[in-house]
Structure 1
Amino acid sequence: MKVHFDTLGCPKNFDDSQVAMARLEAAGHSIVSSPEASDVIVVNTCGFIEDAKKESIEEIFHMSEYKQAGKKLIVSGCLVQRYADELFENMPEVDGFIGVNDYDKLPELLDSLSKDTAQRFKQRGGCDLTGIEDVMRKIPENPYSAYLRIAEGCNNRCAYCVIPQIRGPYRSRPMENILEEARKLADAGCKELILIAQDVTCYGMDVHGKSTLPQLLTRLCAIEGIRWIRLMYCYEDRITDELIETMAREEKICHYIDIPLQHCSDTMLRRMNRRSTSESIRQTLRKLREAMPDIHIRTTLIVGFPGETEEEFSELLDLVEEQKFARLGAFTYSLEEGTPAAEMENQIPEEEKQARLDAVMLRQMDISLANNQQKIGQVLEVLIDEQDEDGAYIGRTRYDAPEIDNTVIFTSEKKHHTGDIVQVRVLDAFDYDLEGREEVL
């Protein structure tokens, strides 16, 4: 059968889809790039927060329109893992539902849909606590930049988060398993590896009792062909001196780190069930900048968490002003059933949450513009992501992750391809973008 995947949500969902694609191809099915060309459509959903749930449901209904052409529709992913029973009952147009831990069963379930006696199915299993061994993954064409998942699940139990309920406890992939996948990606032309997990800095703790992320990074840096290695989803309290030293020593590791701090008030951090403190946050940020003066730190913040006072929100604004993060995203608190935060008193009204979000992002816009203006005149390495209709190239520096961070728009007299890395002189700067021209060496 011809199968089309429609994937929503975070990079971990895209990794799930690629694993599922490889399994289907191994079973004799083929993957197609459009729903029109398919026999079966798989919508891989996100169910992390309310907005993501709404987007997933809207996309399911949109794809259900292809049922009129005789196509089968399967819904997978986090939304199913949370709400399989409700979805099965309320979406009769969907032929099957499958959770995040059951993609190995997808070929068999797909075969069942091709039979004359086919019946709707619902498959939602638990987690395999022995680890994640399978590296079989469909590598896309020209994978110049690729996410590399090093673990599954989470043990952190933040008060607002449903991920442990969806994905289960933390399970590190064996190091050799990760290295094998990284080599395959490098052989296929990958230049940028982006390490992901629910908590990258926790890698190895479930197996060895301590983080072995520095050792993994050192071995990844030895793989020929890989130029950049980027760290996402790092918890502040697990950023060790050894990790910082490794980042500073290894040339391939981008001087970029994503640290989802969420807040900085000690009271709020305790309420969120976070291990960081106001003091530890500032100490870690200082250490990173002392070891790598050019490091670009990305963070995410939550505003409007239950009970957040004006004083606590002011502390957060003060941190934004003080630290001048190179990259920052903020979100209003989303009440998620089944989490401790959902039962807390003093829920903040939506209008107040939005006002606080606007205040953070307006302040960050000025900071981002000032940071970018400092780059005018500099020559930066840029990895090309695309070319626009006017012929200009659009890419990213070592300091920018795909889709969420700044872009560099530049002109060149040379012909380039997606994935090329070139030298660009910055000529102008805006809130979240740079403009430039390729430097002729």
Structure 2
Amino acid sequence: MKFSTQKPKKTLHMVSLGCTKNLVDSEVMLGKLSDYEMTSDSENADVIIVNTCGFIDSAKQESINTILNLHDDRKKESVLVMAGCLSERYKEELQQELPEIDVFTGVGDYDKIDELVNEKRSNFTNEVFLANDTNERVITGSSYHAYVKLSEGCNQTCSFCAIPSFKGKLHSRTLESLVKEVKSLVSKGYIDFSFVSQDSSSFLRDLGHKDGLEQLISEVEKIEGIKTARILYLYPSTTTLSLIDKIADSKVFVNYFDMPLQHITPRMLKIMKRGKGVNQLNELMDHMKSKPNSFVRTTFIAGHPGETLEDHEALAHYIENYKFDRANVFSYSTEEGTAAAKSTELIEQEIIDDRAQELGEIIAKTTEESLQKEVGQTFEVYVDGESEEHEYLLSARKTIWAPDIDGEIYINDNELPEGEQIKFGQIYTVKVTELVGDKLLATVIK
């Protein structure tokens, strides 16, 4: 009788918090730790990694709570790793205050995570790590969609944002590196791409090109096998009318325009250091909206220091009139090291929350109007799989929408020839029959 001499694989539990840019870094870490078997059972995992978010107070709190809860339930000999933005931003304090954690690392060592785990060693490299085409990533959450990171850091100086303080200045990947990575992902079956960074419209500006995104679009269009692509996080002062035209004229890039505006009155844009006059902003926004089948998403901050009641009412009026397809509103959060934190015009938390709630209610209404317009329409969707709602409902999203943030369509019927099964990760044409709550119901027609 032969006994297997193979050791059982060690297991890894990964939690990626915050944005999709963090997710790309988490996928790089998974690639470096491919000897480990992924597990959802954190209590018995050999290694637990939390890729933290350090953006605003609520995100920081979530990061700390997550890692302490995982520590409470983990087995004795496991290795607990705190990585990412929060860890980078407060490295000295956290290492003193959290003896529970075995390995601390920030935003510079994702590609060395295997060494740090094996040696149980903390490390903070001075440079921000930027994924490239040589990093073997393990794409999570989808068999057909992947995020691709364009750059790290940011050259903007927004009054409320601490990201440049721990992510540094803009550092773009080369176009060659991106094209190589996308081609590699296409060869593995990926057909839908979301390009992300802190400030996507500044891509390649640090390397002397003002039209970096337009160059990217031209190069990505040449790659065979891509069905759809979109760009997330355009910045007002670096987005041009010609970039909007380039996206709209593309056969591959969908008319998805995601531009965080934060505010709309001239004085607030100046206080927030947003670098674009209201007239030019309106011109950009109207140009996006004028494109056929355009989808416009944005974010706003309520209660930034210096915001008057008039500013707030003007913003509410603007949101109501523009009718964004999707929008988010954040209550202002004071971040140390930012210009806004030094302001003498801080607003009471209660007023901030009231303003955020009011804007949120307007956004809920305009989102519902955007969804209501889809009823009776026929369009293409990606079918993701069974819905969490019910085994007989399939979960899909419109091909123009970004994953996870723009909504979910339930497919409850199909008109395919008898015996033909719907395949997950593929494009189907559907007809929308009704809107129930915030979910569209649809029938697959081909």
1:72 is displaced (CA, Å) by: 1.2
Q: Which amino acid letter does the alignment assign opposite residue 10 of structure 1?
A: C
**Contact 2:132–2:181 (8 Å) recurs in 1:** no
Secondary structure in structure 2 of the residue aligned to 1:122: coil
1:392 is displaced (CA, Å) by: 0.9
Aligned to 2:5: none
**Contact 1:158–1:273 (8 Å) recurs in 2:** yes
1:33 is displaced (CA, Å) by: 2.7
Secondary structure in structure 1 of the residue aligned to 2:371: helix
Cα shift readout 1:142-197 (whole Å, capped 9, x = no counterpart): 53111110111111121111111121111110111111111121112212100100
Aligned to 2:318: 319
Q: 1:415 aligns with which of 411, 421, 441?
A: 421
Q: Which amino acid letter does the alignment assign opposite residue 403 of structure 1?
A: D
1:36 is displaced (CA, Å) by: 4.4
Structure 1's 132 and 409: CA in aligned 2 closer, same or farther, altered over 3 A? Answer: closer
Aligned to 1:383: 382
**Contact 1:193–1:228 (8 Å) recurs in 2:** yes
1:199 is displaced (CA, Å) by: 0.6
Structure 2-normalised TM-score? 0.91
1:236-255 mapped onto 2 (5 Å cutoff): 236-255=236-255
1:394 is displaced (CA, Å) by: 1.3
Aligned to 2:198: 198
Cα shift readout 1:5-62 (whole Å, capped 9, x = no counterpart): 211110111111111222233xxx3242333453111111001000000000010011
Aligned to 1:404: 405
Aligned to 2:23: 14
Secondary structure in structure 1 of the residue aligned to 2:95: helix
1:379 is displaced (CA, Å) by: 0.5
Q: How far apart in 2 are the matches of 1:339 and 1:135? A: 35
1:230 is displaced (CA, Å) by: 0.9
Q: Which moved more, 1:391-400 or 1:77-86?
A: 391-400
**Contact 2:233–2:259 (8 Å) recurs in 1:** yes
Structure 1-normalised TM-score? 0.92
**Contact 2:24–2:147 (8 Å) recurs in 1:** yes
Q: How far apart in 2 are the matches of 1:295 and 1:431? A: 23
Structure 1's 425 and 333: CA in aligned 2 closer, same or farther, altered over 3 A? Answer: same
Secondary structure in structure 2 of the residue aligned to 1:410: strand
Aligned to 1:89: 96
Aligned to 2:13: 4
Matched, 1:367 2:366: yes
Matched, 1:432 2:438: yes
Secondary structure in structure 1 of the residue aligned to 2:154: coil
Q: Which amino acid letter does the alignment assign opposite residue 12 of structure 2?
A: V
**Contact 1:369–1:430 (8 Å) recurs in 2:** no
Secondary structure in structure 2 of the residue aligned to 1:123: coil
Identity of aligned residues (%): 32
1:128 is displaced (CA, Å) by: 5.5
Structure 1's 430 and 282: CA in aligned 2 closer, same or farther, altered over 3 A? Answer: farther
Structure 1's 132 and 411: CA in aligned 2 closer, same or farther, altered over 3 A? Answer: closer
Q: How far apart in 1 are the matches of 2:132 and 2:192? A: 23
| Unaligned stretches of 5+ residues in structure 1 | 114-120
1:252 is displaced (CA, Å) by: 1.5
Secondary structure in structure 1 of the residue aligned to 2:90: helix
1:28-47 mapped onto 2 (5 Å cutoff): 29-34=35-40, 35-36=42-43, 38-47=45-54
Aligned to 2:343: 344
Q: How far apart in 1 are the matches of 2:37 and 2:280? A: 47
1:41-80 mapped onto 2 (5 Å cutoff): 41-80=48-87
Q: How far apart in 1 are the matches of 2:32 and 2:371? A: 44
Aligned to 2:113: 106
**Contact 1:42–1:73 (8 Å) recurs in 2:** yes
Aligned to 2:261: 261
Q: How far apart in 1 are the matches of 2:215 and 2:319? A: 32
**Contact 2:133–2:181 (8 Å) recurs in 1:** no
Q: Which amino acid letter does the alignment assign opposite residue 77 of structure 1?
A: G
Q: Which amino acid letter does the alignment assign opposite residue 408 of structure 1?
A: I
Cα shift readout 1:355-395 (whole Å, capped 9, x = no counterpart): 11111111122222222222211111111223123321111
Cα shift readout 1:312-348 (whole Å, capped 9, x = no counterpart): 0111111101211111111101111111111111211
1:87 is displaced (CA, Å) by: 1.1
1:418 is displaced (CA, Å) by: 2.9
1:207 is displaced (CA, Å) by: 0.4
Aligned to 2:6: none
Secondary structure in structure 1 of the residue aligned to 2:430: strand
**Contact 1:159–1:271 (8 Å) recurs in 2:** yes
**Contact 1:255–1:295 (8 Å) recurs in 2:** yes
Aligned to 1:118: none
1:398 is displaced (CA, Å) by: 2.9
Q: How far apart in 2 are the matches of 1:174 and 1:38? A: 37
Q: How far apart in 1 are the matches of 2:160 and 2:111? A: 30
Q: How far apart in 2 are the matches of 1:390 and 1:68? A: 35
Q: Which moved more, 1:141-150 or 1:210-219?
A: 141-150
Q: Which moved more, 1:6-15 or 1:430-439?
A: 430-439
Q: How far apart in 2 are the matches of 1:397 and 1:202? A: 27
Secondary structure in structure 2 of the residue aligned to 1:300: strand
1:201-212 mapped onto 2 (5 Å cutoff): 201-212=201-212
Secondary structure in structure 1 of the residue aligned to 2:254: strand
Q: How far apart in 2 are the matches of 1:268 and 1:45? A: 30
What is the aligned residue count?
A: 428
